[in-house]
């Protein structure tokens, strides 16, 4: 349990003189009110995208992967790029709720719920790709999981980074969902107790597990939350490490590098935070949460973007330098080829978006300007997608020159990439309507008034 020192605040986390009761009112409002026009506009757009997405997959899976740009020189393409991209996005949430919790960053309270939701949805988007990029998904589902079977039994290859992925991603998804859900139990109870309609009452009751806010429960709850944070912290670092093994464990020049794990993790946090900003800036407007997700929150996140962005940029330069300096001819060629080869354009998009963009956040004005941070965060997202693109297209020029090839994304590649955003946004907007967008119990716990009272209760004797 937290000690009084940690309860001191630099700036109030809740502005606009909102009382603890107002917190319940405002946060529950989206779930209790009918959606605004803006909401329905966004929701229908995302659903259309989702529908197109599903159709595209159906087609690609019936006719075959020949519809997309990959070929025998370049066996992985946009699907893997999207996979890594989405998994990366899925890092911010758990990071915010776990690591920042351990570091006693109380400002996390008002954003962690949304961020965790985003994590879960991003991972669900990511999960689609490795499964459906295979030649025979219907068998992939059967074969990648080790379970007793009638083939001998024949198990799976636990030495394969892809098998590691199966465990890493599924574990990460599970733990994120559990963490997210546990954090929501008290708030679901709040919704249940506020609910008028019997069905709403029943459903919220079902998921709030009969939470009553008893102090004896709070004790266990807080412990569990702490443990979850402790578990999720190494996990969140491990996931992208293991994803990066898909590349780092291979023997290809440009992939086989030990710098990948840290650099992937940094990149993941980077892109994750960018995505949080991209989502929360409109969301707080849409659901009138400006007093809970304040400009201060956003500024702190921009600071983190600046930090991680610089980390990523630094590792770009490092790996390039090492490759060229090491004197390993294939490695050297691979990297020079990245920068100046046929896919140089992608490399420079990546460099400018990921290395230069965040540097603007050195300026407080930009850090605190809503439109600018929104724009920049989008640039970061683009840049991070291209980072993975650049890494994957290294395949086109591997060891044996006569097998050098090229890679052109087809129409279907593009449709599926955009469609996955449809899936993501649909889920997120649904979440905003049915579940508490902010972690009420924690906001209340770190409400300026609460903190004052608790401090006084200590100073009393």
Question: What x-and-dash track marks residues 51-90 binding another protein by CB under 8 A?
Answer: ------------xxxx--xxxxxxxx--------------
Buried b / exposed e over 35-45, threshold 16 CB at 10 Å, is beeebeebbee
Q: Which listed range, 92-100, 138-146, 300-308, 372-380, lies at the site for another protein (CB under 8 A)?
A: 138-146
Sign of CA dihedral 371, 376, 378, 379: positive
CB of 325 to another protein, least distance (A): 17
Q: Does 456 bind another protein (CB under 8 A)?
A: yes
CB of 212 to another protein, least distance (A): 6
Q: Does 457 bind another protein (CB under 8 A)?
A: yes
Contact predicate 338/317, CB 8 Å: no
What torsion, rounded to 10 degrees, do the Cα atoms 353, 264, 361, 234 define? 160
Q: Which residues touch 150 (CB under 8 Å, ≥6 apart)?
A: none
Q: Which is nearer to another protein, 163 or 296 (CB)?
A: 163
Q: Which listed range, 8-16, 162-170, 302-310, 355-363, lies at the site for another protein (CB under 8 A)?
A: 162-170
**DSSP label at 251?**
-
Q: Tokens 């001191």: give the residue.
A: 8
Q: Which is nearer to another protein, 351 or 440 (CB)?
A: 440
Q: Contacting another protein (CB under 8 A), which of 8, 10, 21, 196?
A: 21
Q: Does 164 bind another protein (CB under 8 A)?
A: yes
**DSSP label at 7?**
G
Q: Does 197 bind another protein (CB under 8 A)?
A: no
The rounded distance, in Å, linking the Cα atoms of 321 and 86 is 28
Q: Which is nearer to another protein, 155 or 363 (CB)?
A: 155
The rounded distance, in Å, linking the Cα atoms of 4 and 178 is 29
Q: Which is nearer to another protein, 227 or 434 (CB)?
A: 227
Contact predicate 246/162, CB 8 Å: yes
CB of 240 to another protein, least distance (A): 12
The rounded distance, in Å, linking the Cα atoms of 397 and 337 is 8
Report CA Rg, the chain: 23
The rounded distance, in Å, linking the Cα atoms of 377 and 363 is 15
CB of 335 to another protein, least distance (A): 16
136: number of Cβ within 10 Å: 10
Q: Does 329 bind another protein (CB under 8 A)?
A: yes
Question: 105-134: which residues touch another protein (CB under 8 A)?
Answer: 130, 133-134
Q: Which is nearer to another protein, 201 or 303 (CB)?
A: 201
Q: Does 290 bind another protein (CB under 8 A)?
A: no
CB of 333 to another protein, least distance (A): 9
Q: Which is nearer to another protein, 21 or 197 (CB)?
A: 21
Q: Which is nearer to another protein, 360 or 412 (CB)?
A: 412
Q: Which listed range, 10-18, 202-210, 351-359, 413-421, lies at the site for another protein (CB under 8 A)?
A: 202-210
CB of 444 to another protein, least distance (A): 4
Q: Does 149 bind another protein (CB under 8 A)?
A: yes
Beta bridge mates, 71:
74
DSSP 395-461: GGG-S-GGG-------HHHHHHHHHHHHHHHHHHHHHHHHS-SS-HHHHHHT-HHHHHHHHHHHHT-
Residue of 273, 254, 245, 276 whose CA lies nearest to 387: 254
**DSSP label at 293?**
S
Q: Does 227 bind another protein (CB under 8 A)?
A: yes
Question: 169-188: which residues touch another protein (CB under 8 A)?
Answer: 171, 174-175, 178-179, 181-182, 186
Q: Contacting another protein (CB under 8 A), which of 52, 99, 105, 163?
A: 163
Q: Which listed range, 120-128, 135-143, 276-284, 287-295, lies at the site for another protein (CB under 8 A)?
A: 135-143
Total residues contacting another protein (rule CB under 8 A)? 128
The rounded distance, in Å, linking the Cα atoms of 38 and 113 is 22
């Amino acid at each position: 349990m937290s000690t009084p020192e940690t309860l001191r605040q630099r700036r109030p986390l809740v502005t606009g003189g909102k009382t603890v009761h107002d917190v319940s009112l405002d946060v529950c409002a989206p779930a209790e009110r009918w959606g605004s026009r803006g909401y329905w506009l966004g929701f229908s757009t995302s659903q259309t995208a989702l529908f197109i997405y599903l159709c595209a997959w159906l087609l690609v899976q019936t006719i075959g992967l020949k519809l997309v740009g990959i070929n025998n020189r370049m066996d992985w393409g946009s699907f893997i790029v999207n996979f890594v991209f989405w998994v990366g996005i899925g890092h911010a949430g758990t990071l915010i709720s776990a690591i920042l919790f351990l570091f006693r960053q109380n400002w996390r309270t008002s954003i962690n719920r949304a961020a965790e939701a985003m994590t879960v949805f991003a991972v669900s988007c990511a999960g689609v790709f490795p499964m459906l990029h295979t030649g025979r998904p219907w068998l992939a589902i059967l074969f990648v999981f080790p379970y007793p079977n009638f083939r001998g039994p024949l198990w799976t290859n636990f030495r394969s980074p892809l098998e590691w992925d199966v465990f890493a991603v599924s574990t990460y998804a599970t733990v994120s969902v559990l963490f997210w859900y546990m954090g929501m139990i008290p708030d679901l109870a709040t919704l249940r107790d506020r609910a008028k309609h019997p069905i709403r009452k029943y459903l919220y009751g079902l998921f709030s597990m009969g939470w009553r806010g008893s102090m004896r429960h709070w004790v266990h709850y807080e412990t569990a939350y702490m443990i979850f944070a402790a578990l999720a912290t190494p996990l969140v670092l491990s996931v992208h490490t293991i994803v990066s093994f898909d590349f780092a464990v291979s023997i290809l020049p440009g992939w086989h590098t030990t710098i990948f794990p840290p650099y992937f993790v940094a990149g993941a946090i980077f892109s994750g935070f960018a995505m949080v900003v991209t989502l929360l800036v409109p969301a707080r407007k849409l659901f009138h949460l400006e007093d809970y997700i304040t400009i201060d929150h956003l500024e702190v996140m921009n600071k983190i973007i600046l930090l991680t962005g610089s980390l990523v940029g630094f590792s770009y330069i490092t790996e390039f330098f090492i490759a060229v300096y090491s004197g390993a001819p294939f490695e050297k060629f691979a990297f020079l080829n990245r920068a100046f080869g046929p896919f140089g354009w992608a490399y420079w998009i990546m460099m400018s978006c990921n290395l230069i963009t965040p540097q603007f956040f050195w300026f407080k004005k930009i850090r605190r300007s809503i439109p600018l941070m929104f724009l920049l965060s989008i640039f970061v997202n683009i840049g991070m997608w291209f980072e993975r693109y650049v890494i994957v297209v290294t395949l086109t020029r591997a060891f044996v020159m006569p097998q050098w090839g090229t890679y052109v994304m087809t129409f279907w590649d593009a449709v599926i990439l955009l469609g996955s955003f449809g899936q993501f946004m649909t889920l997120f907007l649904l979440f905003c309507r049915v579940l508490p967008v902010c972690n009420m119990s924690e906001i209340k716990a770190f409400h300026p008034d609460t903190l004052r009272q608790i401090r006084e209760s200590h100073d009393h004797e």
